[in-house]
Amino acid sequence: MPGVISLILAGGEGTRLFPLTKSRSKPAVPFAGQYRLIDFALNNFVNSDLLKIYILTQFKSQSLNIHLRQAWHLSGITDRFIDPIPAQMRMGKRWYEGTADAIYQNLRLIQEHNPDQVCVFGSDHIYKMDVRQMIELHKKQKAKCSVAAIKVPIEKASAFGVIEIDDNWKMTGFEEKPHNPKNIPGEPDFALVSMGNYVFEAETLYRELERDANVEHSYHDFGKDIIPYLCQQGEVFVYDFTRNEIPNDLGDQMYWRDVGTIDSYWQANMELLVKDPEFDLYNSQWPMRTFHPAMPPAQIRACRKGKESVIKNCAIAAGCEVFGAVIDHSVLGFDVEVQSGAEINESVLMGNSHIGKNTVLNRCVLDKHVYIADGVKIGVDRQYDLQRGFTVSPGGVTVVPQNTDVLE
């Protein structure tokens, strides 16, 4: 799509996902056995034929950079690119001080392309979106800025920027993460919230970033500063995410998940394992690209004593070997070995792990490179899990950190 450049904000620490973000940024967290969180934003742009993309990184970016190099490298033959841009301290010896400051510090890179519109999207939500449809409506409305929005239950709205609109979907009010969010008129149980995805007229973006950079007490943040100011000027339209259509998709096209906590991350993985999942990973007209290591197909067989494996409602990636185990409603990433007698229930195993004989894993998330010795039980006794140094979420999900040997 000519005249458009896209920026993906991928510098988030993801503190609420700790310890999964102990050694990686939030966009690099593995998901659904073979993806990283950033893959969903990137697939949305690539499938929308928007192929001039800068990815702004900052904290603990090495894992993310390796994934981008392996999965998302574009040839230099054309003017298309997907380039990670680390924090380079162009404006002095300081890190990015907010989402708007991250863009401001890289204005020169954007201006070199002389775009008409600039997309600024987040990188850590699970959803599908044809971004072209948002851009076309933005241009039709002659908007200076458009904000993608979705309806959420009122009790969850405090985690987002809450939007008020008029009958023409022009923004009339915006409050970032309010304690008492305003409901949608006539719908007391729901609020309209920002998805953190913006389309700007390029000149508007340049103007506002320059203005905000000179405001002494600004957070230099889109949600806290840029969008509220533009809203006061009457320059923001809201894009209704429910209008977006993905061709040939069998899932719920309104599906959008914020996986910012351990419980929401675990739940989003579990939602993929039901009979008719709301999020369709198998739509050939909207392919979900990622990096696939050179590994053999998953192997599921009986153990040497003849006990058969029993697998129910699971997603199992390449390189896995399962010998006489029972696995139910679980996700296994690349290269997981599960020995005989093991029982795995409602768990997410990110990959490169060994699960010993007669082990029990119940409602667990295992990061990469975890060794579980024979007979170990995790997710059965909360206090014992805490004593072993594991994280247990409010919803009762036990997290085993990366590079952990669990011997008892």
CATH code at position 127? 3.90.550.10
Rounded to whole angstroms, what are the CA distances from 36 to 29, 136, 179, 375? 5, 29, 31, 31
Please report whether residue 370 resides in a domain. yes
Residues 311 and 177 in one domain: no
Looking at the structure of the chain, the number of domains it has is 2
- Kindly report the backbone phi and psi dihedral angles of residue 324, in degrees, each rounded to the nearest multiple of 5, phi listed first: 65, 40
Summarised one tens digit per residue, pLDDT across range 145-200 is 999 999 999 999 999 999 999 999 999 999 999 999 999 998 999 999 999 999 99
Q: What is the pLDDT of residue 93?
A: 56
Closest CA to 224 of 176, 182, 178: 176
Looking at residue 87, its pLDDT comes to 77
CATH number for position 373: 2.160.10.10
For residues 251 and 121, membership in a common domain is answered with yes
Supply the pLDDT for residue 103: 94
Nearest to residue 47, comparing CAs of 132, 136, 123?
132
Let me know if residue 265 belongs to a domain: yes
pLDDT at 5: 97
User: What is the pLDDT, as a whole number, of residue 92?
Assistant: 56
Same structural domain, 263 and 382: no
Separation between Cα atoms, residue 199 and residue 241, nearest integer Å: 13
Residue 90: what pLDDT? 58
Task: Render pLDDT for 350-372 as a digit per residue (tens, 0 to 9).
Answer: 999 999 999 999 999 999 999 99
Residues counted in the chain: 408
Q: How far is 231 from 184, CA to CA, in rounded Å?
A: 18
Output DSSP code: residue 317.
-
48 belongs to a structural domain:
yes
Verify that 330 and 267 share a domain, yes or no: no
Tokens of 283: 């739509």
Q: What is the pLDDT of residue 77?
A: 65
Segments forming the whole domain that contains residue 43: 4-271
Kindly report the pTM of this predicted structure: 0.94
Q: Is the pLDDT of residue 278 over 60?
A: yes
If asked whether residues 196 and 232 sit together in one domain, one would say yes
- Within-domain flag for 288: no
Tokens 């023409």 sit at which residue? 168
Residue-level pLDDT at 9: 95
Q: Over the stretch 211-255, which tens digit does the pLDDT of each residue have?
A: 999 998 899 999 999 999 999 998 899 999 999 999 999 888 899
Whether 292 is in a domain gets the answer: no
Indicate whether 267 and 304 sit together in one domain: no
Q: Output the average pLDDT for the chain.
A: 93
Residues 80 and 162 in one domain: yes
At residue 224, the pLDDT reads: 92
In this structure, are 205 and 129 located in the same domain?
Answer: yes
Q: At what angle do helices 62-71 and 38-47 cross, to 10 degrees?
A: 30
Contact 81, 42 (CB under 8 A): no
One domain, residues 131 and 189: yes
Q: Are residues 265 and 307 both part of a single domain?
A: no
Each residue's pLDDT tens digit, 22-51: 999 999 999 999 999 999 999 999 999 999
Is 371 inside any structural domain? yes
Note the pLDDT of residue 14: 81
Same domain, residue pair 218 and 360:
no
Q: For 91-143, what is each residue's pLDDT tens digit?
A: 555 667 789 999 999 999 999 999 999 999 999 899 999 999 999 999 999 99
- Separation of first and last alpha carbons in the chain: 56
Confidence check: pLDDT of 344 > 70: yes
Helices (H), 217-261: 227-232
262 and 305, same domain (yes or no):
no
